Structure 1
């Protein structure tokens, strides 16, 4: 019966109802899946990060900023310097004094530096190399940018820079080019116009200022001036100068600024009239008076400011002599002075009519640290040579850590530092 039924079964239906007799496939075992962290592919760095020390106003705190970045690749005509040390100057506190309100953004500090070259543009690779130790001036006061940064983008055409001499420390190099450049250019001009000779009798007002110290060394060691230098200083100024420059210790005559209450013209006039040098405060009062036979001054270099010496210039300065000031009529006050402030009307009149008003040359010296000025006398290369051969040296007053910059500025404002104040910059 069953066979008969199967014969009559529709073949299509038979296919559809057929069930295979094979067993189901066995599950394939796999390892447990786990996500693992892998290294990212190397990407091109498109900038050099920079850490800067800035302020926003005169009374505001100093802060560290990370806003500045140096784009790479750098310009073909520029180079990058990793900064190790920065020298502070009076111009830094004057710039800070000028920003009363915090509306100008970030303002940098520092105008001169020392460091190591890390990147060099292709067009200047013949002159500069990675690893070169350099020192220079980064002077951009109107751009709000200072040298107190971990790295600087330098254009050798606009920023004075030179290879650091091997016999000079990084601290010394960081405090040299701005002040030495000022002193050298002042004296170079005086020599060019026949005011400075080996026989010149010279008065220096502010001998323990950094520019004053470089001027003293240049006058004696480079220009070979024969007469003794008459130096107005205060406190332990003579001890500092004699200990720092023992080879010329006997070539200086000192006038105590404190004993005459800032009126240094009085002891100067007395010295010229009586032809005797009064003992300096701290010297042995029993010592016999020293004779003074050098007469009036051919050159007066004023690094302090004030009108006292000028007011008695007819009895102090030779006709056809020269008076050069870096400050002006007002006595410098680092707590209040402002960068690029105007002189009083009488000082401005002297700039214009000085040669008519007096028989000597009066000039208010402003230092232009751009390399364009070096084309006239090669002062950048000359500064490096003077350091290298030991003609001059930088006197360091104190070195501060980068985090102690506020303390360093306080010391600078007291005007008591006898030498350069240096900031040590940390690597970033």
Structure 2
């Protein structure tokens, strides 16, 4: 086949030339190669990867996020802490309730933590070292970030942080200590400074098995040495829980069962004052004939549950020139609905403004912001709380410890408002 094609070729075509109208292109001149200095490639910028638990709205789930990173090198006045445990607080649910629509981006969870220092800023090397075991409060609710992260960038000038004594304070107990203990300590310190609390005060506590209530009981009896018995309003097996956790204080407390009187704790309280007999815990209508009550009206009422019942009978319960302090307000706390930093109702606002003119006692709605820029520099509460924990004067009662993969179960349990102590989340390595 090839041979036939070659036999039929035309010799004229071999000699034919074609002239092109366009000229040939010019030669491209190439400069001599020269090395120049350029900006550092992005791959050389170092970060600490961070895994965190976040949500986008009150209706959405809490999920893992990997968006946040800590840039290296860190600021010379800051620390990086690898988080091992984080603490939950009712404020986490109140913050979540405030985000009705997913338009604000990621919102973090958790206000307390314990862990290990992994990076130290240049200005802090004389006080902190890599490997230090620490615990503290990471309270930035309006910045929408939380402590449930694998690593936190801490500013000790703002964020309360302490060394954890490994021999006397477990990481779980350390995690749940400072926020609620700080609340109780600052609340009582304020009353003492104003002359409203002393060793002879008669104190009523509404919500004894709340974390703040438990720390308050310990501080009143072991630190402030209040001599009179504390009257504790609690519910269910609250009296048993408190007696078992604080056996040395068992005989220093009188219990009122919130459930047996259907939330109207003022009724057994008035009954006790009028009769001069201690009311039976499980049946407020019956009296313990063998146990007298001679302490009279209350100088201090501390409310960690909320409600208006005790206030509505304040004239028969609160002593002249006494004080009523609440951390909740007139409404009974509802973790499923309450919103962080919401306004009090009109009657509570009126008491705050005109209470001293209308009643013989003082009314205080106490808020605790642990940031050092908010709290007075003269107030060394963080070191005092650390000392009380180290010496065993007070201890954190931990109810349950969850893996951070089971945060949904932890939130569900907290929503029942039956927790009797702190809920702690164990943060997995990342």
Question: After superposition, what is the alpha-carbon deviation per residue over 1:174-205, rounded to whole angstroms, capped at 9, x for unaligned?
Answer: 10100000000000001111111000000000
Distance 1:158 1:377 in 2: 14
Offset at residue 102 of structure 1 (A): 1.0
Deviation at 1:374, TM superposition (A): 5.3
Are 2:78 and 1:63 equivalent residues in the alignment?
no
1:210 is matched with 211
Partner of 1:53: 53
Are 2:332 and 1:337 aligned? no
The RMSD of aligned alpha carbons is 1.4
Q: In 2, Cα distance between the equivalents of 1:316 and 1:277?
A: 15
Q: Report SS of the residue matched to 1:162.
A: strand
What SS does the aligned partner of 1:371 have?
A: coil
CA distance in 1, matches of 2:359, 2:200: 22
Larger Rg: 1
How far, CA to CA, are the matches of 2:384 and 2:135 in structure 1?
A: 13
Aligned counterpart, 1:194: 195
Taking the aligned partners of 1:351 and 1:126, their CA distance within structure 2 comes to 46
Deviation, structure 1 residue 351: 1.2
Unmatched 5+ residue regions in structure 1? 1-42
Equivalent runs, 1:306-345 vs 2, <5 Å: 306-345=307-346
> Counterpart in 2 of 1:79?
79
Query: Where does 1:280-295 land on structure 2 (aligned, <5 Å)?
Result: 280-281=281-282, 288-295=289-296
Provide the C-alpha distance between the structure 2 equivalents of 1:236 and 1:282, rounded to a whole number of angstroms. 14
Taking the aligned partners of 1:58 and 1:47, their CA distance within structure 2 comes to 31
Q: CA deviation at 1:45?
A: 6.0
Q: Is the 8 A contact 2:180 2:211 kept in 1?
A: yes
Flag the 1:189–1:287 CA change in 2: closer, same or farther, 3 A. closer
Check whether the contact 1:278–1:289 (CA below 8 A) recurs between aligned residues.
Answer: no
> SS state of the match for residue 190, structure 2?
helix
The whole-number CA distance in structure 2 between the counterparts of 1:164 and 1:205 is: 31
**Structure 1 residues 264-307: Cα deviation after superposition (integer angstroms, max 9, x where no partner):** 00110110010111211189x89644110000000000000011
| Cα distance between partner residues in 2 of 1:134 and 1:49 | 20
Counterpart of 1:408 in structure 2 is: 410
TM-aligned CA deviation for residue 376 of structure 1: 2.6
For structure 2, list consecutive stretches of 5 or more residues without a partner in the other structure: 1-42
Is 1:381 matched up with 2:383? yes
Query: How far apart, in 1, do the equivalents of 2:132 and 2:335 lie?
Result: 35
Aligned mates of 2:326, 2:333 — CA distance in 1: 11
Name the counterpart of 1:183. Answer: 184
State whether structure 2 residue 259 is matched by structure 1 residue 258. yes
TM-score w.r.t. structure 2 length?
0.88
Corresponding residue number in structure 2 for 1:273: 274
Match of 1:240 in 2: 241
Counterpart residue number, 2:157 = 157
Whole-angstrom CA distance in 2 between matches of 1:105 and 1:60: 12
Of 237-246 and 348-357, deviating more is: 348-357
Matching of residue 112 in structure 1 with residue 112 in structure 2: yes
Partner of 2:425: 423
| 1:382-403 Cα deviation digits (max 9, x unpaired) | 1110100000000000000010
